[in-house]
Amino acid sequence: MRLTNTLTASALALCVTTTGVQAETELELARFFGSCDDAGTDVSAAVGEACIIQTIINAYSADDNGVTIETLPTDWGNYYDQLKAMYAGNSAPDVHVIHKSSIAEFASLGALMPLQEDDLRAAGINPDDWVDRARDAVTYDGQMYAIPMDIHANLWHINLDILAEAGLVNDAGEPILPSSPEELMAHAKQVKDATGKDYLTADFAQFPIGVRMVLAMLWQQDSNVFSGDEATVNTPEAQRAVETIVGLFDAGYADPNLNYNDSQQAFLEGDAAIQINGTWMVDIYDSETRNDDSALASYYVADYPQLFDEAATWADSHTWALPVTLQSEPEKYEAALGFLAWLNDHNVDWARTGHLAVRQSVLDSAEYQNLAHRDEYSNTVNIARDNPPAVRYSAIQDVLNRELQSIWLQGKGIEEALADAEGEINRLL
């Protein structure tokens, strides 16, 4: 059977080449988001980042447009290391996803292809439709280097049943969330006393969710980890932010030892009232409420609460870029632009994950506004914040992650850890 298939395929291939039909343009695509088995091409049925993006890719590849796309392995962990190695080995993928926070590094070294607005328009992408924040996300030094796909931010994912048991749900069925560090502790105590469960859970042990929480609490106090070339980590504001989190650990209202999967399980099994995680979890948690095995029955998503003077939450963007080498391959460049336009057209499908759309026309559409839970975190788009572009951003984030871990997992003094982080970040800037 397999042999006949192969023979037929080779015969067909032979016919195609001999009759002079133009060969398909092949694009190599690199992304993270994880893998989706048997993704297929039905975009509307997909759930979760991995499956939604893969069906969008597959649908384009299967479409009769002369372009086929090969998706490279999709691991999270070493994505940027691999990408860099591919660039260094002159075998960069033809199109790849990249975080807003990494554009500075790749663009400053001349790796990314500068995108011309006229070319984008010719391919059917209208940059004027992007919200300002999204346009800024793909612009480095006044030049556009990518097209934006989303704005993603930290949210509070809430198990309403647990909060209700602790009396923290109002008559309208909305959660009552803290508005100061003191209130945070009081609510956490209330939940512990009433239910015996943890108030909140997040990956404080490996993935930098703890860093993103501290950043949000710094911005809420009008502070930041660096300004210009100077690190400003060891400040009273940072101390207050870290003390707020450590207070929860010390009182036993949260567990700093859980990693990403464990913290997710803790939330799904109903062992914690709130999980702090990104927009990408919204459709997955929403689908879990219909899963009988999950203890999550009434799910609510809230904007990251304002605990200090102003509202802010950590945010970043997923964007798509082309390598500078495509300049000498016009055919691939055109094919890649066609694919970017396809992605841009599917902005609302990607937003189904929970991410914020980047096109004003999508944001205004009824389809977008009717997405599950969308109205519950509508203010996130206004409070989304991040750091100014920095070439060594991933290293800076790693320093913060290590030093914060050493505070809550290794008992290092807060001031000592912040001072060490400041010294190291100063060397990186």
Contacting range for another protein; rule: CB under 8 A; set: 79-87, 175-183, 210-218, 359-367: 79-87
Give the residue, chosen from 176, 297, 392, 419, that forms a contact with another protein under the rule CB under 8 A: 392
Restricting to residues 198-227, name those near another protein by CB under 8 A: 205-206
Nearer to another protein, 84 or 189 (CB): 84
Cβ 87 to another protein shortest distance, Å: 6
Half-sphere exposure of 423 (CA within 13 A, CB side): 6
Q: Are 415 and 400 in contact (CB under 8 A)?
A: no
Does residue 111 belong to the site contacting another protein (CB under 8 A)? yes
Secondary structure (3-state) at 11: helix
Cβ 123 to another protein shortest distance, Å: 25
Tokens of 352: 């189904």
CA distances (Å), origin 332, targets 23, 88, 335 = 12, 20, 5
Angle between helices 330-345 and 49-62 (to 10 degrees): 130
Does residue 259 belong to the site contacting another protein (CB under 8 A)? yes
Residue whose C-alpha is closest to residue 265's, from 275, 251, 250: 275
Cβ 310 to another protein shortest distance, Å: 31
Angle between helices 236-250 and 209-219 (to 10 degrees): 130
Does residue 35 belong to the site contacting another protein (CB under 8 A)? no
Give the residue, chosen from 5, 19, 90, 328, that forms a contact with another protein under the rule CB under 8 A: 90
Q: Are 362 and 381 in contact (CB under 8 A)?
A: no
Main-chain dihedrals φ then ψ at residue 7, nearest 5 degrees:
-60, -45
Cα–Cα distance between 146 and 140 in angstroms, integer?
Answer: 10
CA distances (Å), origin 9, targets 4, 24, 26, 280 = 8, 15, 18, 40
Cα–Cα distance between 302 and 177 in angstroms, integer?
Answer: 9
Which parts of 89-166 fold into alpha helices (H)? Answer: 100-108, 117-123, 132-137, 160-165
Does residue 95 belong to the site contacting another protein (CB under 8 A)? no
Cβ 149 to another protein shortest distance, Å: 23
Binding mask 395-414 for another protein (x = CB under 8 A): x--x---xx-xx--xxxx--
DSSP label at residue 274: E
Cβ 121 to another protein shortest distance, Å: 28
Q: Are 397 and 382 in contact (CB under 8 A)?
A: no
Cβ 79 to another protein shortest distance, Å: 11
Contacting range for another protein; rule: CB under 8 A; set: 29-37, 223-231, 259-267, 353-361: 259-267
Contacting range for another protein; rule: CB under 8 A; set: 134-142, 146-154, 216-224, 257-265: 257-265
Cβ 202 to another protein shortest distance, Å: 13
Cβ 346 to another protein shortest distance, Å: 30
Cα–Cα distance between 241 and 216 in angstroms, integer?
Answer: 9
Q: Hey, how many other C-beta atoms are within 10 angstroms of the C-beta on 206? A: 15
Cβ 409 to another protein shortest distance, Å: 4
Does residue 7 belong to the site contacting another protein (CB under 8 A)? no
Cα–Cα distance between 49 and 34 in angstroms, integer?
Answer: 8
Cβ 210 to another protein shortest distance, Å: 11
Secondary structure (3-state) at 395: helix
Does residue 176 belong to the site contacting another protein (CB under 8 A)? no
Does residue 179 belong to the site contacting another protein (CB under 8 A)? no
Does residue 265 belong to the site contacting another protein (CB under 8 A)? yes
Tokens of 121: 């328009």
Contacting range for another protein; rule: CB under 8 A; set: 86-94, 119-127, 163-171, 340-348: 86-94
Does residue 110 belong to the site contacting another protein (CB under 8 A)? yes
Number of chain residues interacting with another protein (CB under 8 A): 38
Restricting to residues 288-307, name those near another protein by CB under 8 A: none
- Residue identified by tokens 């929970």 is 354
230: part of which helix (H) or strand (E)?
strand 230-231
Residues in contact with another protein by the rule CB under 8 A: 77-78, 80-81, 84-85, 87-88, 90, 105-106, 109-111, 205-206, 256-259, 261-262, 265-266, 269, 324, 392, 394-395, 398, 402-403, 405-406, 409-412
